[in-house]
Each structure stands twice: as C-alpha cells, then as structure tokens.
C-alpha cells in the first residue's frame, strides 16, 4: 500500500504546487535545500534593510505604558525613512532576528 501524499500548506500558491508535483524526489530535495537557503538570505536581507536609514529615538521604551500587547518592554523606538517619509517603529530582537512593529508617522500630518 502506497503512503498518502502529504497535504500542502494553504499559503503555497497552486502554480508552485503544480510545479513541485512534476519533480522527482532528488530535484525536490534540491529545491528544499535552495528554499531553506533562500529563506535565510531573505531574513538577513530584511534585517539589514531594517537597520539601514534608522535613527534610534529611545533605547528603552519600557517606561512607555502605551506599548501594544505584542511589543515587549525591551523594545526601542526607531525612525525609518521610506519614500522620503519618516515613521516610528518599535524594534526588538528575538534570538537572531530583529522584529519590528509600526507605531506611526513622525509627522502625523503625513
């Protein structure tokens, strides 16, 4: 009796799944290795982009009682420039990753 085909995650686009279904086992393993390497690269790239063009406004926002529930007290506030506009972001580290959450525009009229 052949094993059942594994269910695919819903987030994977149908066109990708169709292409994967046409590959042999060896090619699928190569794709899996490439996908893992690509994910590591994208995470590192995103972290670098977060760090570029940012000014730290406050190193420790633990005194800020208005922190959202999903932002840790150890988070700092940074200013990120996007398309010549400046925005505040909460930013913190979780292990090797830099996490951030949008806070609002530096100039509320923007």
- Domain borders along the chain are 14-53, 55-105
pLDDT tens digits along 26-85: 999 999 999 888 887 777 776 665 555 555 555 444 445 578 888 888 888 888 888 888
Can you give the pTM of this predicted structure?
Answer: 0.45
Residue 4 reports pLDDT greater than 90: yes
For the chain, the three-class secondary structure string (H helix, E strand, C coil) is: CCCCCCCCCCCCCHHHHHHHHCCCHHHHHHHHHHHHHHHHHHHHHHHHHHHCCEEEEECCCCCCCCCCCCCCCCCEEEEEEECCEEEEEEEEEECCEEEEEEEEECCCCC
């Amino acid at each position: 009796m052949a094993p059942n085909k594994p269910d695919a995650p819903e987030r994977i686009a149908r066109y990708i799944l169709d292409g994967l279904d046409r590959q042999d086992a060896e090619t699928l393993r190569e794709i899996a290795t490439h996908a893992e390497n690509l994910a590591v690269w994208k995470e590192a790239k995103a972290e670098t982009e977060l760090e570029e063009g940012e000014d730290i406004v406050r190193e420790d926002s633990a005194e800020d009682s208005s922190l959202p529930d999903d932002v840790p007290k150890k988070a700092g506030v940074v200013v990120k420039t996007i398309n010549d506009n400046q925005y505040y972001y909460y930013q913190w580290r979780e292990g090797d990753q830099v996490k951030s959450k949008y806070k609002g525009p530096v100039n509320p009229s923007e």
